[in-house]
Amino acid sequence: MRTSLRRIFDEKRRIMIPVLGGLALNLVLYVVFVYPLSVRVRTTESRAQAAAQARQAAERDDAAARGAAEERQRIDAALQDFYKEILPSSFAQAQQTMFLRLTKVAEQHNLQPSRRDTAQDTDKDGSLVRMRASMSLKGNYEDIRRFIYHVESGTDFIVIDSVVLRQGTEPGSPLILDLGLSTYYRARPDAA
């Protein structure tokens, strides 16, 4: 078989040398140019995919940051509305809310106020002042229950801190409700 290939090569030398030269040239061109370019293309494609994934992650992070900023603005606006519309703006308004309105509500529920006291707690670092109050009311159980419900479900920002219900000292006397209450007001309204 070797002789037959050699004989074919000798007889067809004019055709075989250019064909083998072309094959060798193709092999050299492939090794020198095509293969390195294909490696570069694969590397570039993988970098492009990584960049696309990084871009998508950055877009998600940007959308989350924008959402957080919008949520913070919404919360800040709601807090400012709370300060303006719900919290009393001064000590006098807090006292009015605490005692005048509660006295009216007590009278609507057939309760008799007997005593009341106030105290203030100022937070050095904050802009809110807590006004604490205590109030005693006399009446029957159903009226007391409706009064407490009215205070808790009302629009004024009044927190019931403590409730003590006791019977009067004389037989048949009305129940006495001792309430510990709190409300807050802005110490410096311009600190918003």
Q: What is the pLDDT of residues 78-115, one digit of tens each?
A: 888 888 888 888 888 888 878 888 888 889 999 888 77
CA–CA dist 74, 57 (Å, integer): 25
Whether the CA torsion 33, 35, 40, 45 is positive or negative: it is positive
Q: Tell me the pLDDT band of 2, cut-offs 50, 70 and 90.
A: low
Helix axes 13-29, 2-11, angle to 10 degrees: 100
Q: What is the pLDDT of residues 112-132, one digit of tens each?
A: 887 777 777 776 667 788 888
